[in-house]
Every structure is written in C-alpha cells, then in structure tokens.
Amino acid sequence: MDTGHRKSWDDIRRDATRFAKDWRLAYDEKSQAQSFLVAFFQVFGVETRQVATFEHRTKLLDGSQGFIDLLWKGCILIERSSSSACSSASTPSQSI
C-alpha cells in the first residue's frame, strides 16, 4: 500500500521543526486530535487516510466496546489520554 511520498531526512527534519512550531500552543486536545495526528504523519510523508483508521472500534477486555484513537494495522496504535487522566492515575489517592 502506498503511504504517501518518500521524504529525505532533511525534509523530515525541516517539516518536524515546522510541525513543532505550529503545534506548540495547541490547547484543545479533544477537538484538535485528528488534525494533530494528520499533521504529524505528514511530517514523514504519510497520508493517514490511506493507511489508518480514526476512532477504530474495538472490544475491551471487560466485553464492552471502546475506540482506539488511531489504528494503522500492523504498524502503530495511538491512544491519547487527557492530562487530567494521566495526573490522576499517577497521583496516589489519600485515605482519611
């Protein structure tokens, strides 16, 4: 499957720098998530619509249905979590 066009390392480096500058002030993770991932893959010359599925349905371990933020079968799975979920998961709860 064609994933886009091949880029030189110089092009990737240039585009990665531009990507970092463009997204440094991004503040709304939920509403900008797919745009962010599309732009990230474009750094490497990969067209996400040709290789990946956003919000891929999956069955969770408990039998319920969930979604994977991005799935490129056989290559990468991306699942974001909010910063509040990360901080609450890493912060031990206190007992009173």
- Answer whether residue 16 is part of any domain: yes
HEC string of 15-50 equals HHHHHHHHHCCCCCHHHHHHHHHHHHHHHCCECHHH
Task: Quote the DSSP letter at residue 91.
Answer: S
pLDDT, one tens digit per residue, over 62-96 is 999 999 899 999 999 998 875 554 444 444 433 33
Residue 31 clears pLDDT 90, i.e. is over it? no
Locus of tokens 């990737």: 12
Number of domains in the chain: 1
Position of tokens 């979590």? 81
**CA distances (Å), 16 to each of 7, 27, 34, 46, in order?**
12, 19, 17, 13
Residue 39 located in a structural domain:
yes
> Looking at residue 26, what is its pLDDT?
78
Distances in Å between the Cα of 77 and the Cα atoms of 14, 62, 86 are 25, 20, 18
Distance CA 25, CA 62 (A): 37
Least confident of 2-11, 32-41, 46-55, 86-95: 86-95
2 belongs to a structural domain: no
Q: Whole domain around residue 45: which residue ranges?
A: 9-80
Does the pLDDT value for residue 16 go beyond 90? yes
- Is 90 a member of any domain? no
Residue 93 included in any domain:
no
